[in-house]
Chain A
């Protein structure tokens, strides 16, 4: 909302610098976003919060500025004589339009708009059209009630305030044609629509330089009806903005009187009278303010008389009920003041937030998971992974491509195709990898922790997950999972082979028959679909399950006796799973086997082409004694023999 200092001076002279006024207004909650000098005037641009309909008029702003500067503004509302004129007006639904007043002036002359008037409205952001329309806008700015002026001679017969028929067309003053629905409220005569109620007039009935007779429409429309009507058409005007917030019958009268008077003064003509349909009653309410609640709420002593003074400056009627309680009747244009806290805010914002001291409350610290999750993310970075944050809203077509089911869709998406909530963290990882590959960046590996969502039995499930994606050394993916589970002290988990629709070589991570996650290699077909030139190895873990399963850590003793290590070189047929070799190792060397590591892998001429070679190092150790070289050799030879058994012949070659 824009206003100017000279416009305010039509009500009172603040006798203060514009910059001082701007600062005081800002500190009282009317934020001045910009202040500009224009000839001999100052233009203020302010942010009006949705509760303050009163600030959408120069009159309301003058009242506020006066209060902020320390004085009560005396307001004189313009009025005109009551005269009725015969007009036929029908309101289809009083809920849409509780009050409609049509005022008629005949014999006017559309003259040149005087410069002062042109400047007033221009500085408030409204272009000059012609003197009559300009006076209408000036009156609206000054008193806050939107009005519309028709060329009376262009109206044919009775006036209707009704909902539009489905598919009716409307050509607005902005030159745009719109197709209406029953959500739109219109003003129509017997032949045509003459205005989109509360929003914009039609070209077919507007005032032009030849206009002689006019009809001034001042009405009250339902804020909700106007809001829906303009939302559906995607427009917003000075008029709809005000109707949506709140209009007041008293200001309607003031606006109407002011515009009639000014038109008679500048354009001549005779005021024939007006026709009023409907009516609204305004009730005054009284709010009690206990000075003790003021102190309890704000933490500062404001005296009884100071509170009273502040409220009176705001044009509230204030009386003393007893020593502690004030009875307040806010002015009609402050219907945002409804209860005691609203009054408290009024007092404190004019008093000044800056005068409230700072204190710290004493709070007893409580437990939560904060440090656990903090250290969990910290741990993931220790694995050398980089955290990414990607969008939770994804393309439905992508989820379908991934054969995902039960995903939740957005009814009103920003972009039509991005309309689903993700059910996996894969898409985000793919996007980050693709982006960085295109940028030729070095990719070590990414992780993301985020919620995933899905439908289940008509309700929804939202749970946190961890996703990891790498493009090199696929076996590391398994190491990461093992390390994560070790960090969480989750033991006795298993990796189980599984067929997954989007991955090859997939494994489930299982514990106590619950699937806590999976890992796999993204299928080539999908890599091609997402246009990624590299393989993507992806793992996903359910964090609510892991959180349930994690256990406190206690020291685990280890042996102090020396370790004895033996190497074995072998080759296995490629499709023969390595875990079968591990089973043989475990079953044959038994209790003294501490661990096995792969120290070398080999593919080449020395072994058959469908084989791959490994050099394994077996570590033996006892808890009770130093193992003798001979007994380890014995165990190791047993193992070599077992690896030559007929069951595995042709699958394992010892080297």
Chain B
């Protein structure tokens, strides 16, 4: 029996050494350690032996079993070491990565900033009537102040609000919300607007605006400044400076245009700000009492501010895009950048 064990040991040792593939090793494992293996047979013969021999042979068999297990394990490790390496220097395959359009990202970011202040996001319709696009906003129907609001008219039969048109700004949302709900109100309304401008690097007949307004008791011009400061510093940079220039809009009084210190040259003067050091980013003001009245809000009790900005313009400034048309070409190479 002892001889058998020695022979087996030698045989196993040699064979495992010779093994060249993982599959052969598995075969060897089955042969030497499996249910039908010699070792197992020898183990089953143990009870037949005399007591002292039984203990001795048993120990040797166990040692042999452990040795074979160890040899197999060592061999296995060798194979594992030889596992094929991945060549990560190969050009990686293309993934299908979805993207939100840059304008969507900018709109979402701006809305998020105002949401942090407690504003509510309400979107309006793009088809509007003259009342909501002009008259309610204190813009007379035939007046030079309408020149900047050239408008696409639609072939829909006029209703009580006058002719139908594609809104030329997002301000009608202001009217819609104020007609429907009473103050306190703090609303942001993003969306598409349309003006018959011939397309060029800075004009598009369709673009996006974001309108914001806040109406409550005791809302004053300093709140307008505070809110827009918060916005500009969150969106552009904490270092950005703001300049409020008096301006004229029929729907606000006092009105202002807001400039930020040029984000490219930090106000030193460059080609983007045309040497002025300032970039115009939005228009704003205190909502005209007539506009509040038009929406059934008592201007003696409530006051409010409103502002509006062009999303494309702001995106162009922030991401240094020179031509507005690129937003609507939807070139994959553009979409993939953001």
Contact = CB atoms under 8 A, between A and B. Distances in A.
Interface of A: 26-29, 31, 49-52, 223-224, 227-228, 244-245, 296-300, 339, 341-342, 344-345, 348-349, 353-354, 356-370, 374, 377-378, 380-393, 408-414, 421, 431-432, 435-436, 439, 441-446, 450-451, 453, 455, 458-460, 462
Given A297-B286, A370-B111, A389-B328, A50 B145 contact: yes
Given A362-B118, A458-B156, 17 more contacts: A50-B248, A223-B144, A298-B220, A299-B220, A349-B246, A363-B214, A377-B104, A378-B100, A387-B98, A393-B152, A408-B154, A410-B152, A411-B153, A414-B152, A441-B331, A453-B127, A460-B164
Contact of A345 (B101, B198, B254): B254
Contact of B206 (A28, A384, A393, A453): A393
Interface stretch (B6-14, B25-33, B34-42, B226-234): B226-234
What DSSP secondary structure best describes chain B's contact surface?
mixed
Contacts of A414: 152, 196-198, 205
Contacts of A298: 220-222, 254
A359 B154 CA distance: 43
A353 B126 CA distance: 34
Interface of B: 94-101, 103-104, 108, 111, 115, 117-122, 125-127, 142-145, 147, 152-157, 159, 164, 166, 184, 186, 192, 194, 196-198, 205-206, 214, 216, 218-223, 225-227, 229-230, 243-248, 250, 253-257, 286, 288-289, 303, 327-333, 335-336
Given A368-B121, A432-B330, A446-B330, A462 B230 contact: no
A458 B157 contact: yes
Contacts of B255: 345
Contacts of B111: 370
A391 B205 CA distance: 9
A44 to B, nearest CB: 14
Given A298-B222, A360-B230, A439 B330 contact: no
A357 B214 CA distance: 18
B96 to A, nearest CB: 3
B144 A29 contact: no
Given A26-B245, A369-B121, A380 B98 contact: yes
B152 A412 contact: yes
A367 B120 contact: yes
A409 B214 CA distance: 35
B332 to A, nearest CB: 4
A459 B159 CA distance: 9
Contact of A366 (B98, B118, B198): B118
A386 B248 CA distance: 40
Contacts of A431: 330
A558 B198 CA distance: 59
B99 A387 contact: yes
A441 B336 CA distance: 11
B98 A382 contact: yes
14 contacts: A50-B248, A359-B223, A361-B226, A370-B121, A377-B104, A386-B101, A409-B155, A410-B166, A414-B196, A421-B154, A445-B96, A453-B126, A455-B156, A460-B154
A18 B173 CA distance: 42
A439 B221 contact: no
A384 B97 CA distance: 5
A365 B286 contact: no
B143 A364 contact: no
